[in-house]
Amino acid sequence: MSEPTTVTVPATGLVLLVGVSGSGKSTFAREHFHPTEVVSSDACRAMVSGDEGDQDATADAFDLLEHWVGIRLRRGLLTVVDATNVQQRARASLVALAKRHHVLVDALVLDVGESTAAARNEARPERDFGAHVVRRQQRDLDRSRRGLRKEGFRRVHVLGPAELAAGVTIVRERSWNDRRELRGPFDVVGDVHGCASELRTLLLELGWTVQEDGAGRAVGAHHPEGRTAVFVGDLVDRGPDTPGVLRLVAGMVEAGAALCVAGNHEAKLVRALKGSSVTVAHGLAESLEQLAAEPDEVRARMLAFMDGLVSHYVLDGGRLVVAHAGLKEAYHGRASRQVRAFALYGDTTGETDEYGLPVRHPWAQEYRGAAAVVYGHTPVPVATWTNNTICLDTGVVFGGALTALRWPERTLHAVPAEREHYAPVRPLVPAAAERDPAVLRHDDVGGTRWLETTHAGRVKVPGENAAAALEVMSRFAVDPRWLVHLPPTMSPARASRREGYLEHPEEAFDEYAGWGVRRVVCEEKHMGSRAIATLARDQDAARRRFGVADGSTGVVHTRTGRAFLDDSLGLVARLTSAVAPLFDELATDWLVLDCELLPWSLKAEGLVREQYAAVGAAAREALPAGLAVLERAAARGLDVADLADDLRRRRDHAAAFRDVYTSYVRPTSGLDGVTVAPFAVLAAEGRVLTLDEPHPWHLARLGALEDPFLTPTRHVEVDLDSPASRAAATDWWLALTADGGEGMVVKPAHRTDRASGVDRRVQPGLKVRGREYLRIVYGPDYPDSLEELRGRDTGHKRRLALREHGLGLSALADLVAAEPLWRVHQSVFAVLALESEPVDPRL
């Protein structure tokens, strides 16, 4: 028996099975591929018509097939097409599809002969089309044979009866640029351009040991900590010692100490060395002259090295992509002429600028990918991050510097040029000059999107919610540069069964205990308006940290990103001065605070006047009048006692309702009468404090600020294992709410976001509102319908709370990490979008 045949297919790519009906394509696919990898025309026919034999459905079936295959290829999944594919036309559209997604495509021909196939079909009741069909397919196949290799397939595998009988092993081959298994750490080095001396200095400064040959020439290097160097290409041209650079880098690559991608200068030098006629410009002459002085075998080795360079690498589990001129996300790990052209030359428009150099699309400005893209090609004065991309070409050959990026550390290291080796054609411009990073774009947030967040996992933002949020953001929100966080919604504790209570502390305690939380903080819920304050110490800090140079130093905004008061009132300045000691204590010159702005009537005046006051006044007029009528009726001997009792109860309810809302109404004039109750320091320079510090820390820090503008937040800590501790907190809550106090918020005393590994259901906070206060929410007579209210559903609100909490944390984490504004904004925007979900507003 002969050996099994090995068939190598691309791990990310397309495989077309080719063979007449009955040649065994479906059987082969079942044996060698995962069911989800196989897209069959029969299955598509069945899906669009209910009958896999329905030939009338063929056009629609192939429509579906191509759509399905296209989605899989875009997502980088191996896809096997199980269809006869015996006609050139049918293959051509699939080959084109693979090209569109920049993946390789193989043909796998099952060639069993017409008679075998026909005989097999005899036995298949579902293939009763007669022998002429197979004969026609066989003729098509035979006609295809010769040209098959030229149709754009990377490989054509032909398996005849003998190979099929001996067995087949499928090997999935990853593309050359897919080296995600390499985890580094890496030292990525920018364009060297023949500056061998600076390269050597850079490597030494980064801790590399350089090996020399007998003549003292650097021929290799290794790093004692096992680092790998990655060169972004353009090792050659313009500089004084191109052969020296090639000798060192080729030595490192051959020894496994370095990787190198191709630059446009290598590509041209290779063509010149191979004898193509090229224009000798841009420093090519220097290279050719220097290489001419090398022995033939050395030059041959250097040519082979340059000729073998791949267009880009995907490294470190997909987190790092290195390409000479950068690479858009759709091209990462892909292989095609366009991918290579983009990686070597960038996204060029074909136009040239006033210096005769190509105009390039600012692809980095559009980049929204998760992988960091490190590149060179366009000299910049200093390497800076733009949307998770960084250009390391700092023009060493033009007298700039040679720059390396350490990965995963993300630190930069630069060695200045020893001199200007070559005069620059045009002045160096920052790569990011084309787009102001603070200007947000519709496509940052529009449409349905999934956000990957550390703290809430994958969060879906539906398109219609995004549209609603966009409306709010663009029309009412504060300057987005100040809008770095929105707070999550909060669910009440589950309904209490206690007589007369809808919400009660014990339920919140039980819920947290059930989620494995041992300590909680009960915090007074101020009856005011939730406010987020983003404050810079001064105008300088505002400019430096938030890019705001209009003289403003911060903002205080609502849960939906709107400003509270006309800032001419000086709210920001007043609050900044009240919390000023924190700047030094926390070694920061900016802060994001979670607060309540008091009094409630400040923002809710209209609501109070038009709704609550109206209800109160109407009730207080109508109910006594009704009672007076009933009293007269009773005096005439009618039995209206029950009705009168009812009205009396409702009159008392109305009075209580009025007492509750009026206790939150306080006259203000300008900032007079206004106070702020801060209860968390969300973030400061270098730290997301709401993650780093337990909640009691925040209350203690903020409580220590003594300024009449600040209202302290009363609170108690509760040990959930201690009945006495729980009882004390309950008493505290009863006292707090007896005369209408809004209630309290119960929060875990330690970190509970998803990344901290606790129960995923733990709510960031649960509110427990006072019995009297709930009249404002559910109406004066709500105690009459307690039973019904106990059935209210908090599930949706809680799911939203978890996602919004995670998104808010992601926004702060990105802000602290100095990620671009659009990234911060995406999370903030998503909170707002989720807030447009329909949820019972009384919860």
Residue nearest to ligand CTP (CB): 24
Task: Pick the closer one to Mg ion by CB: 35 or 147.
Answer: 35
- Site map (CB under 6 A) of ligand CTP, residues 434-473, x = contact: ----------------------------------------
Contact 575, 740 (CB under 8 A): no
387 binds ligand CTP (CB under 6 A): no
24 binds ligand CTP (CB under 6 A): yes
Site for ligand CTP in 725-744 (CB under 6 A): none
Tokens of 334: 């892909």
Contact 590, 686 (CB under 8 A): no
| Segments in 636-746 forming alpha helices (H) | 641-662, 689-692, 695-703, 723-738
Binding-site partner at residue 19 among Mg ion, ligand CTP, none, CB < 5 to 8 Å by type: ligand CTP
| Segments in 515-640 forming alpha helices (H) | 539-546, 571-578, 581-585, 601-607, 613-635
DSSP assignment of 269-319 equals: HHHHHTT------TTHHHHHHHHHTS-HHHHHHHHHHHHT-BSEEEEGGGT
826 binds ligand CTP (CB under 6 A): no
CB of 6 to Mg ion, least distance (A): 24
32 binds ligand CTP (CB under 6 A): no
Tokens of 775: 């009249």
CA dist., res. 253 & res. 228, Å (int): 9
Contact 537, 590 (CB under 8 A): yes
Q: Given candidates 21, 228, 553, 558, which one binds ligand CTP under the rule CB under 6 A?
A: 21
Number of H helices, E strands in the chain: 30, 33
Only one of the segments 18-26, 518-526, 599-607, 712-720 lies at the binding site for ligand CTP (rule: CB under 6 A); that segment is: 18-26
CB of 46 to Mg ion, least distance (A): 12
Only one of the segments 21-29, 95-103, 269-277, 422-430 lies at the binding site for ligand CTP (rule: CB under 6 A); that segment is: 21-29
CB of 21 to Mg ion, least distance (A): 7
19 binds ligand CTP (CB under 6 A): yes
Amino acid identity at 815: L
Tokens 């009240």 belong to 578
- Site map (CB under 6 A) of ligand CTP, residues 58-87, x = contact: --------------------------x---
Burial of 195 (0-12, 13-18, 19+ CB in 10 A): buried
Q: Given candidates 124, 172, 274, 518, which one binds ligand CTP under the rule CB under 6 A?
A: 124
Nearest by Cα to 284 from 299, 301, 264: 264
CA dist., res. 660 & res. 635, Å (int): 35
CB of 5 to ligand CTP, least distance (A): 14
Q: Residues near 771 by Cβ (< 8 Å), separated by ≥ 6?
A: 500, 501, 502, 737
**Judged by CB under 5 A, how many residues of this single chain contact Mg ion?**
1
Only one of the segments 25-33, 67-75, 604-612, 803-811 lies at the binding site for Mg ion (rule: CB under 5 A); that segment is: 25-33
23 binds ligand CTP (CB under 6 A): yes
Cα torsion angle, 267, 269, 270, 272, sign? positive
CA dist., res. 536 & res. 593, Å (int): 11
336 binds Mg ion (CB under 5 A): no
Task: Pick the closer one to ligand CTP by CB: 109 or 272.
Answer: 109
Binding-site partner at residue 334 among ligand CTP, Mg ion, none, CB < 5 to 8 Å by type: none
38 binds ligand CTP (CB under 6 A): no
Q: Given candidates 8, 26, 211, 662, which one binds ligand CTP under the rule CB under 6 A?
A: 26
> What's the distance, CA 437 to chain centroid?
17
138 binds ligand CTP (CB under 6 A): no
CB of 170 to ligand CTP, least distance (A): 16
26 binds Mg ion (CB under 5 A): yes
Task: Pick the closer one to ligand CTP by CB: 86 or 665.
Answer: 86
CA dist., res. 317 & res. 633, Å (int): 85
Task: Pick the closer one to Mg ion by CB: 46 or 789.
Answer: 46
Q: Given candidates 10, 13, 22, 599, which one binds ligand CTP under the rule CB under 6 A?
A: 22
Task: Pick the closer one to ligand CTP by CB: 40 or 534.
Answer: 40
**Judged by CB under 6 A, how many residues of this single chain contact ligand CTP?**
13
Task: Pick the closer one to ligand CTP by CB: 109 or 535.
Answer: 109
Only one of the segments 18-26, 140-148, 716-724, 819-827 lies at the binding site for Mg ion (rule: CB under 5 A); that segment is: 18-26
120 binds ligand CTP (CB under 6 A): yes
Binding-site partner at residue 770 among ligand CTP, Mg ion, none, CB < 5 to 8 Å by type: none
Only one of the segments 17-25, 225-233, 366-374, 599-607 lies at the binding site for ligand CTP (rule: CB under 6 A); that segment is: 17-25
CA dist., res. 563 & res. 482, Å (int): 11
Contact 750, 757 (CB under 8 A): no
- In sequence order, the β-bridge partners of residue 521 are 717, 747
CB of 116 to Mg ion, least distance (A): 15
Only one of the segments 26-34, 345-353, 523-531, 757-765 lies at the binding site for Mg ion (rule: CB under 5 A); that segment is: 26-34
127 binds ligand CTP (CB under 6 A): yes
Rounded to 5 degrees, what are φ and ψ at 327? -160, 130
From the CA atom positions of the chain, what is the Rg in Å? 36
Binding-site partner at residue 24 among ligand CTP, Mg ion, none, CB < 5 to 8 Å by type: ligand CTP
Tokens of 108: 């796998």
Using H for helix, E for strand and C for coil, what is the string for 22-89? CCCHHHHHHHHCCHHHEEEHHHHHHHHHCCCCCHHHHHHHHHHHHHHHHHHHHCCCCEEEECCCCCHH
Only one of the segments 20-28, 84-92, 216-224, 595-603 lies at the binding site for Mg ion (rule: CB under 5 A); that segment is: 20-28
CA dist., res. 798 & res. 352, Å (int): 56
CB of 517 to ligand CTP, least distance (A): 58
Q: Provide the pairing of β-strand 13-18 with 178-179.
A: unpaired
Q: Given candidates 14, 15, 16, 25, which one binds ligand CTP under the rule CB under 6 A?
A: 25
Binding-site partner at residue 75 among Mg ion, ligand CTP, none, CB < 5 to 8 Å by type: none
Q: Provide the pairing of β-strand 766-769 with 743-748.
A: antiparallel
CB of 94 to Mg ion, least distance (A): 16
CA dist., res. 584 & res. 96, Å (int): 62
Rounded to 5 degrees, what are φ and ψ at 406? -90, 135
Binding-site partner at residue 22 among Mg ion, ligand CTP, none, CB < 5 to 8 Å by type: ligand CTP
Task: Pick the closer one to ligand CTP by CB: 68 or 345.
Answer: 68
> How is residue 398 annotated by DSSP?
G
Task: Pick the closer one to ligand CTP by CB: 52 or 479.
Answer: 52
CA dist., res. 538 & res. 552, Å (int): 9
CA angle at 441 for the pair 437 and 445, rounded to the nearest 5°: 115
Only one of the segments 20-28, 522-530, 600-608, 633-641 lies at the binding site for ligand CTP (rule: CB under 6 A); that segment is: 20-28
384 binds Mg ion (CB under 5 A): no
Which residues of this protein are in contact with ligand CTP, per CB under 6 A? 19, 21-27, 42, 84, 120, 124, 127
Which residues of this protein are in contact with Mg ion, per CB under 5 A? 26
